[in-house]
């Protein structure tokens, strides 16, 4: 199975890049399944229903969220009915929506998508390791799921590295989101699980992690907010990671970063 994961979509620039480029990438790379992190898609914070539908219409099979899941209050209303929208699994029991979902890929195989929210340098939350392990135990790789994708929304690279080793052999890929900066540590672990510390963002990199530079610079220099953060609106780079999995085991056989458009150095998978 050929799977593409795209990192945090930031604002209008990121949304436009997804709408314009993702359908072509699906055809060009013969993708069976696409996951997009959409937690910053609406004005840089959260995800409205319209923008969720835009990402789905562009070709995202599943959209994941993160620590900004509820910044757009309407998300609490529509998330319950959307099987392809996933918020962190380690939120408190009874939270609206779902932290894992099983979806049929274009090739007919079953893909489990799980998201966890990290705890290092983040607000207090339940243990992501135990919550993700429980979700995977209910739908094991090679039994109920033909592939398992784990989006781990974290600040600390140590935490995503630990999660990768914790799930090695039990997931197809463990990929980090949240920092908006793509890492170059993509690899396949000994047990066959792909790992990448951060997929990066789908947004304008001529910015401060997707935000127009003036206000972040002001706050670093003075410590006094003058205004709100506003998403940068230049040409976006699509940033993410593509893997290929073994159809029998669901484990990863190939991995490559993807960077298309905008100001980042370009990279297209060649398998």
Model pLDDT for residues 34-79, shown as the tens digit of each residue: 999 999 999 999 999 999 999 999 999 999 999 999 999 999 999 9
110 CA to centre of own chain: 19
pLDDT tens-place values along the chain, 271 residues long:
999 999 999 999 999 999 999 999 999 999 999 999 999 999 999 999 999 999 999 999 999 999 999 999 999 999 999 999 999 999 999 999 999 999 999 999 999 999 999 999 999 999 999 999 999 999 999 999 999 999 999 999 999 999 999 999 999 999 999 999 999 999 999 999 999 999 999 999 999 999 999 999 999 999 999 999 999 999 999 999 999 999 999 999 999 999 999 999 999 999 9
The second-level CATH assignment, the architecture, of 2-260 is 4-Layer Sandwich (3.60)
Cβ atoms of 45 and 75 closer than 8 Å? no
How many Cβ atoms from other residues are within 10 Å of residue 212's Cβ?
A: 20
Dihedral (CA of 131, 192, 202, 217) sign: positive
Give the span between the Cα atoms of 86 and 66, in whole angstroms: 9
Q: CA torsion, points 249, 161, 69, 49, in degrees to nearest 10?
A: -40
Q: Can you tell me whether residue 194 is helix, strand or coil?
A: strand
Give the span between the Cα atoms of 181 and 99, in whole angstroms: 24
What residues are annotated to the active site?
A: 68
Q: What are the residue boundaries of the structural domains of the chain, listed by start?
A: 2-260
């Amino acid at each position: 199975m050929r799977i593409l994961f795209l990192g945090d979509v930031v604002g209008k620039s990121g949304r436009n890049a997804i709408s314009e480029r993702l359908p072509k990438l699906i055809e060009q790379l013969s993708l069976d399944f696409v996951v997009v992190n959409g937690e910053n898609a609406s004005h840089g914070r959260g995800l409205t229903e319209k923008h969720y539908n835009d990402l789905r219409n562009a070709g995202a099979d599943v959209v994941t969220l993160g620590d900004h899941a509820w910044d757009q209050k309407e998300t609490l209303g529509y998330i319950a009915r959307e099987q392809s929208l996933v918020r962190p699994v380690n939120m408190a029991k009874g939270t609206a929506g779902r932290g894992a979902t099983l979806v049929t890929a274009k090739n007919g195989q079953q893909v489990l998508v799980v998201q966890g929210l990290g705890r290092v340098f983040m607000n207090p939350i339940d243990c992501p390791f135990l919550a993700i392990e429980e979700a995977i135990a209910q739908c094991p790789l090679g039994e109920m799921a033909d592939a398992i994708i784990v989006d781990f929304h974290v600040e600390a690279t140590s935490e995503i590295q630990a999660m990768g080793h914790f799930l090695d052999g039990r997931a197809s890929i463990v990929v980090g989101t949240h920092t908006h900066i793509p890492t170059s540590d993509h690899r396949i672990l000994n047990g066959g699980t792909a790992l990448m510390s951060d997929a990066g963002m789908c947004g304008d990199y001529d910015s401060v992690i997707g935000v127009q530079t003036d206000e972040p610079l002001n706050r670093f220099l003075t410590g006094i907010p003058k205004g709100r953060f506003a998403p940068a609106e230049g040409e976006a780079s699509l940033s993410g990671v593509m893997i290929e999995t073994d159809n029998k085991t669901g484990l990863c056989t190939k991995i490559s970063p993807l960077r298309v458009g905008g100001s980042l150095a370009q990279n297209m998978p060649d398998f």
